[in-house]
Amino acid sequence: MKYGRLLMTVFLVLMFLVGCNTVKKGQETSKSACKEVVDWVDFMIINQITYVRNSDETMVIKPEQIGDKVGEVNYTLSGHACSDHVSQNGDAAFLPIGTEVRELKGYQSQFRVVAEGNIYQADDNPNASTLGDLLDIEGKVQKVSLESGIDGSRIGDFSKDAAADFISELIPLKYVGFDEVYKKAKHESGVFLRVHLQDGTSFRMVFYPKANAFTDGAFGTEKLKRLIMSQRQQIKAAAGM
């Protein structure tokens, strides 16, 4: 499978200048079998969709918010897999084997699910046709913010109308996946945006102006680009930047 931006954030710390033999599922990793340490991102693959834990979540998930089971973990990579392991359906970086993955009520399971009390958000969906298929956020957005690319701090918010226009333009964009975006944006600095949802959670989006593309796996329209850059200029000016 294509790892996309998920595995672009996996960092390898090589402890020995020796190759690694992939450990088969069901076997324990031994020091002699895999001579490296892999710093896994907290992800899982369920129903062919790659989810990453939303570390920006700010709400406590109540029992009544948890829906039906959509899958379960059948292999844990951390402590068992080497860096050349090809992840597949049912794999998870840290979640134990047998962990149930359930719906988060209020969202399509293709976008967000719950496992061990944490929200996991879709990072790659091979069945998505539009960004709206990946991100179930229509009618759920509270505001859109501009963040610092240095420390991630909030600089300011889009106007209410601009935020609404941003979402309406974003949702229909054709989903192409991160790999296609990376080909054009890999040497470019991005504009850091944060989408705040009505339930108090949020997530970051990075927009690359020259490539006119989003890390979420879509190329923007000229109208959307003008909107983002105009709001960025106004927000930074108001902040004295």
pLDDT tens-digit readout, 56-88: 766 789 999 999 999 999 999 988 888 788 889
- What is the DSSP secondary-structure string of 166-198? HHHHHTTSBB--HHHHHHHHTT-PPEEEEEEET
91-112 per-position pLDDT tens digit:
999 999 999 999 999 999 999 9
pTM over 0.75: yes
**pLDDT for 22 beyond 50:** no
| Closest residue by Cα to residue 139 from 123, 157, 163, 158 | 163
Q: What's the chain's average pLDDT? A: 86
User: How many whole angstroms separate alpha carbon 61 and alpha carbon 39?
Assistant: 27
pLDDT value at residue 11: 36
| Closest residue by Cα to residue 8 from 137, 129, 89, 124 | 124
Q: Which residues sit opposite 208 in a β-bridge?
A: 213
